Amino acid sequence: MSARTSIKPTHRSQGFALIELIIVVVIVGVIGFAVWRVTQAQQTASTENTTQSQQANTMTEPKIENAKGLTAVETKLEAAELDDKALDELDTALDF
């Protein structure tokens, strides 16, 4: 037989050491926190931009007039008044 010697490891690795796992968790936590902060900043900026855009749109919204020269709000008020008149006429007709 040959004179072969096998080298056996003195310490058998059975997984990760506790310090390695702690380092990985800390690194993942720092990266996650950084991503979260960037996301929050973008969301805040988006909300502010949307608010400014809506305010600008309402300030520059043109008043569109119908054929009688009334705006949409005035037209709705006129329609409501006509409905009130129709109800009054109906009440009068039903009052024998």
Q: What is the reported pLDDT for 24? A: 95
Q: What is the reported pLDDT for 81? A: 73
**pLDDT tens-digit series, residues 17-32:** 899 999 999 999 999 9
What mean pLDDT is reported for the chain? 77
Q: Do the Cβ atoms of 28 and 20 come closer than 8 Å?
A: no
Q: What is the mean pLDDT of residues 37-46?
A: 93
CA triplet 90, 92, 95: central angle to 5 degrees?
Answer: 110
User: pTM surpassing 0.75?
Assistant: no
Return d(Cα 48, Cα 31) in angstroms, integer. Answer: 26
**pLDDT tens-digit series, residues 54-63:** 887 776 655 6
